[in-house]
Amino acid sequence: MQLFTRTGHLSEKALQMSCRGELTEDQEVRQHLEQCPYCRRQLSEVTRFLSLVGSVSVELSAAQVEKSG
In the complex, the residues that contact Zn ion under the rule CB under 5 A are 9, 36, 38-39
Closest CB 25 distance from Zn ion, rounded Å: 19
In our burial notation (b when 16+ CB lie closer than 10 A, e otherwise), range 27-49 reads eebeebbeeeeebeebbeebeee
Nearer to Zn ion, 9 or 16 (CB): 9
Closest CB 27 distance from Zn ion, rounded Å: 15
Side-chain half-sphere exposure of 20, counting CA atoms within 13 A: 9
Closest CB 8 distance from Zn ion, rounded Å: 7
Nearer to Zn ion, 4 or 50 (CB): 4
